[in-house]
Chains A and B, each alone.
Chain A
Amino acid sequence: MGDGVDSVSTFFKRDIGLVSKPGRYLGIEVNARHKPLSTPGTNCVLVYPDVYEIGMSHLGLAILYEEINDREDSMADRAYLPWVDMQELMERKGIPLFGLESRVPLGLFDLVGITLQHELTYANVLRILSLAGIPLRSAERRDSDPLVVGGGPGAYNPEPVADFFDFLVLGEGEEVIHEILDAVREWKHMGKKDRRGFLRRCASIPGVYVPSLYRVHYRPDGTVSGIEPLEGAPLPVHKRVVPDLNEKVKPRRPPVPLVESVHDRCSLEIFRGCTRGCRFCQAGMVYRPVRERSEDLLHGWGRELVSATGCDELSLSSLSSADYTRINSLAERLSEDLERKGVAVSLPSLRTDSFSVELASRVGRIRKTGLTLAPEVASPRLRAVINKELSDRDLLEAVGAAYREGWRKMKLYFMVGLPGEEEGDVEAICGLVRRIMREGDGGGPPRGLRLSVSVSTFVPKPHTPFQWARQISLPETARRHFILKEGLRIKGVTWKWHTREMSYLEGVLARGDRRLGPVVEAAAREGCLDNWSEFFSWERWRRALEGYGLDPAWYVERERGEEEIFPWEHLSAGVKKSFLWEEYLKALRGEPTPDCRFADCTDCGACDGKEIVNRLAGGGR
């Protein structure tokens, strides 16, 4: 490992002071494991394809970091996308991207694991590979190159970046990682020969998807006509699910960010999955079923996390934390223990009702900076479409409760562009906001309340009931923003919208196919950090799409028919396509589907009826 490592250490001595926030690159975080690379062991580096401040907050990688480092025969380092000044300096000095703790170039690891959390980080993935000097395409890599492995929600349709991964993992990683590490160790002992044969063996590990073992056939109109597994690869690839999360208690000592990160707090994951059944929500479909951890376990673990990190905020995280069956008692026990230590307990994802608000107030006594609620839509009709049970009354009561509890800054999330949305539905957002400002304090105006309204554009996601739906065009989005701009001129209210073109690009990539691979590559050559508005350039992507004769509107604005074979047809998130289609039809009819935690199972396909079932800490179904 001669040169690369030496030059990185010289770089640290001479040049690291030249970049902004060098703390991002030091790798001396408290709780960092600093395990050395070893020849017989399996050397991994876990990569979040965005900057340190975002990547360090990610729970999934913290879990894997501990799973891997707890093994005698393996080690895991960490890497993030350097900020632009550091990227430039590294390129100028010929410094390849390195693992933060070991300062060893990524190319010298056995496995480079990259999480796909968002479509707008796809160019970053390529940027990371090119900064590391690793051949971009799986097909170009030699036996000695690292295995480039993907995971995270993006793995449910990784097709636009499939060519760049040797394999991807569908679903939860904490069990399958061990099967993968065993396989890599064995391959390494055999001298890392016959990479393709090795990938074929990996494909037999449940949850592992090897893109090169599937051939996609297209019709002349660009739609997929079939996906053909090669050399005995499984069809479909099933996601991995951990049946009982009480057996998986990680992270226990996560590395603590040196530089202030976006979510500057410690996360305690109280459960996984959500069966509320919001039809736009990919997480709510792909993480099923609901698996709650036991209250006593969480109580002890939460306190342990605080004393292992010294953090001042413990966040009870999940997709909808107020839904946890023992939430009142857990939150109260934890806040009672931690308040004296100046540690706040927080609930990051609140339901829009007064129960949640009151709960948040009780536990968050010592910190009342801002409250976020996500009503998503404002008209009863659209609420029925998205299957979100909520009334204006619920929202007004939630706001009223928060106001009485002392919150003076609140944030509301809305979405535009949902299937069946009309102008009246957008106007209803303005109406609802006006009503809040008029009668939010138990019928009277909530004096001094500052409301910020944040509006995103709906992007249909794979494995959701809306995967067949069309996304609105750029002019249609602009029209909706105009209505909001006019209608939200209300004292005390500010509003923000997602950059239209960003949502549009997200739409192209979310339901994209493999033909987009070269487009991502071309766009990444000219820039990255698309999720940072100062670097985002739709023009760059538009040109790249045009260069390969691909029409973004075809991906984004086209409604798909029942017969459509999706580019992700060979990948299963558990939930059946027939269930999703039924849900789509029900959405268009405005019919509700109840939550299977409290009503009957609607046979979505996520459970196996034996091991994999909804598991609630408070008992019940």
Chain B
Amino acid sequence: MKRLLVKYYKKGDAAFLSHRETMRVLERALRRSGADLVFTSGFHPRVKMSFSPALPLGVAAEAEYLEAAVEGEPDLEEMIKRMNDALPEGMGVTSLQVMPGYMPKLSRWARYGLYRVEGGGGALHLCMRLDGEGGGRLRDALQLLKERLGVEAEAVTRVGIYASRDEILEENPGKVYFYHAGKGELEEMEDSGAG
């Protein structure tokens, strides 16, 4: 059995698909990908897969992840092509890789979400935790952005999912505001000096 990490995007109208609906279309696309999928056991077998944390309705995403288990030697190029033919307009797979054995499960590393918030003619980046504790509702964060910085969000895109704050800064996105759900505070994330 191999673990596959599928990276996909979801934009335009597809941003209005709920998490559940997104999972459904991805499961169907996987079923059509030609890969030899592994199923859960029980009365109602499902494709064995897990997803990055739910996106709020209406938020687009550039790099979401899905992890699935397959048997044999999957033809990754062919899988990408077939999945892209089987996804609704606005969704697509950008990369697909076999996860090395040491790589932790998606649910273990998908901790931080980085968002691009567009409004008032400009854009800024917002980061917040995705897991339960310390995570916060995006809506609250946007409200705070409005109060503190006067930025009215017109379009919000989750640009990536990361394991740590340092990983985000390595990508050098410029100024990033971090939302502390517990404190209800926004703070500027420290630039580690890389750029």
Chain B residues whose CB sits within 8 angstroms of the CB of A29 once the complex forms: 88
Evaluate contact between B88 and A367: CB separation under 8 angstroms. Answer: no
A366 contacts B by Cβ under 8 Å: yes
Evaluate contact between B45 and A366: CB separation under 8 angstroms. Answer: yes
Task: Fill in one digit per residue for A239-283: 1 if any B CB lies within 8 Å of its CB, else 0.
Answer: 000000000000000001011100000000000000000000000
Tell me whether A259 and B32 are in contact in the complex, defined as CB-CB below 8 angstroms, given that A12-B13, A369-B43, A369-B44 are known contacts.
no
A26 contacts B by Cβ under 8 Å: yes
Chain A residues whose CB sits within 8 angstroms of the CB of B45 once the complex forms: 342, 366
Q: Which of A339-370 contact B (CB under 8 A)?
A: 341-343, 366-369
Task: Fill in one digit per residue for B41-69: 1 if any A CB lies within 8 Å of its CB, else 0.
Answer: 00111110000000001100000000000
A618 contacts B by Cβ under 8 Å: no
Q: Which of A438-471 contact B (CB under 8 A)?
A: none
Tell me whether A258 and B20 are in contact in the complex, defined as CB-CB below 8 angstroms, given that A28-B89, A341-B31, A342-B47 are known contacts.
no
Q: Which of B21-29, B94-102, B158-166, B182-190 contacts A (4 or more CB under 8 A)?
A: B21-29
CA distance A310 to B46 in the complex (A): 12
Tell me whether A30 and B31 are in contact in the complex, defined as CB-CB below 8 angstroms, given that A12-B13, A22-B57 are known contacts.
no
Tell me whether A367 and B44 are in contact in the complex, defined as CB-CB below 8 angstroms, given that A28-B88, A341-B31 are known contacts.
yes
Interface majority SS on A: helix, strand, loop or mixed? loop
Chain B nearest CB: distance from A101 CB in Å? 10
Evaluate contact between B13 and A342: CB separation under 8 angstroms. Answer: no
Chain B nearest CB: distance from A100 CB in Å? 11
Chain A residues whose CB sits within 8 angstroms of the CB of B88 once the complex forms: 26, 28-30, 258
CA distance A16 to B32 in the complex (A): 30
Chain A residues whose CB sits within 8 angstroms of the CB of B47 once the complex forms: 342
Chain B residues whose CB sits within 8 angstroms of the CB of A21 once the complex forms: 18
Evaluate contact between B28 and A310: CB separation under 8 angstroms. Answer: yes
Evaluate contact between B32 and A310: CB separation under 8 angstroms. Answer: yes
Evaluate contact between A30 and B24: CB separation under 8 angstroms. Answer: no
Chain A nearest CB: distance from B60 CB in Å? 12
Evaluate contact between B43 and A310: CB separation under 8 angstroms. Answer: no
Chain A residues whose CB sits within 8 angstroms of the CB of B43 once the complex forms: 366-369
Chain B residues whose CB sits within 8 angstroms of the CB of A428 once the complex forms: none
Chain A residues whose CB sits within 8 angstroms of the CB of B39 once the complex forms: 342
B138 contacts A by Cβ under 8 Å: no
Chain A residues whose CB sits within 8 angstroms of the CB of B31 once the complex forms: 310-312, 341-343
Chain B residues whose CB sits within 8 angstroms of the CB of A312 once the complex forms: 27, 31, 46
A547 contacts B by Cβ under 8 Å: no
Evaluate contact between A307 and B21: CB separation under 8 angstroms. Answer: no
Evaluate contact between B13 and A258: CB separation under 8 angstroms. Answer: no
Evaluate contact between B29 and A26: CB separation under 8 angstroms. Answer: no
A197 contacts B by Cβ under 8 Å: no
Q: Which of A1-57 contact B (CB under 8 A)?
A: 12, 16-17, 21-23, 26-30
Evaluate contact between B17 and A258: CB separation under 8 angstroms. Answer: yes
Chain A residues whose CB sits within 8 angstroms of the CB of B114 once the complex forms: none
Chain A residues whose CB sits within 8 angstroms of the CB of B18 once the complex forms: 21, 23
B8 contacts A by Cβ under 8 Å: no
Evaluate contact between A311 and B58: CB separation under 8 angstroms. Answer: no
Tell me whether A28 and B90 are in contact in the complex, defined as CB-CB below 8 angstroms, given that A22-B16, A341-B31 are known contacts.
yes
A69 contacts B by Cβ under 8 Å: no
Chain B residues whose CB sits within 8 angstroms of the CB of A369 once the complex forms: 43-44
B14 contacts A by Cβ under 8 Å: yes
CA distance A451 to B86 in the complex (A): 40
Chain A nearest CB: distance from B28 CB in Å? 3
Chain B residues whose CB sits within 8 angstroms of the CB of A367 once the complex forms: 43-44
Chain A residues whose CB sits within 8 angstroms of the CB of B145 once the complex forms: none
Chain B nearest CB: distance from A44 CB in Å? 21
Evaluate contact between B13 and A26: CB separation under 8 angstroms. Answer: yes
Q: Which residue of A has the minimal Cβ distance to B15? A: A17
Chain A residues whose CB sits within 8 angstroms of the CB of B13 once the complex forms: 12, 26-28
A473 contacts B by Cβ under 8 Å: no
Q: Which of B135-191 contact A (CB under 8 A)?
A: none
Q: Which residue of B has the minimal Cβ distance to A312? A: B31
Chain B residues whose CB sits within 8 angstroms of the CB of A12 once the complex forms: 13
Tell me whether A260 and B24 are in contact in the complex, defined as CB-CB below 8 angstroms, given that A30-B86, A342-B39 are known contacts.
yes
> Which one, B24, B25, B58, contacts A17 given CB within 8 A?
B58
Chain B nearest CB: distance from A306 CB in Å? 8
B93 contacts A by Cβ under 8 Å: no
Chain B nearest CB: distance from A137 CB in Å? 35
Chain A nearest CB: distance from B99 CB in Å? 21
Evaluate contact between B28 and A23: CB separation under 8 angstroms. Answer: no
B87 contacts A by Cβ under 8 Å: yes
B37 contacts A by Cβ under 8 Å: yes
20 additional A-B pairs beyond A310-B32, A366-B45, beta carbons within 8 Å, are A26-B14, A26-B17, A28-B13, A28-B89, A29-B88, A30-B25, A30-B88, A256-B28, A258-B88, A259-B21, A260-B24, A307-B32, A309-B28, A310-B30, A311-B28, A342-B37, A342-B46, A366-B43, A367-B43, A369-B44
Across the A-B interface, the 10 shortest Cβ-Cβ residue pairs: A310-B28, A310-B31, A17-B58, A22-B16, A28-B88, A310-B32, A28-B89, A342-B39, A26-B13, A23-B21
Interface positions of B (Cβ within 8 A of A): 13-14, 16-18, 20-21, 24-25, 27-32, 37, 39, 43-47, 57-58, 86-90
Interface positions of A (Cβ within 8 A of B): 12, 16-17, 21-23, 26-30, 256, 258-260, 307, 309-312, 341-343, 366-369
List 7 A-B pairs, Cβ < 8 Å: A23-B16, A26-B17, A27-B13, A307-B32, A310-B86, A342-B45, A366-B45
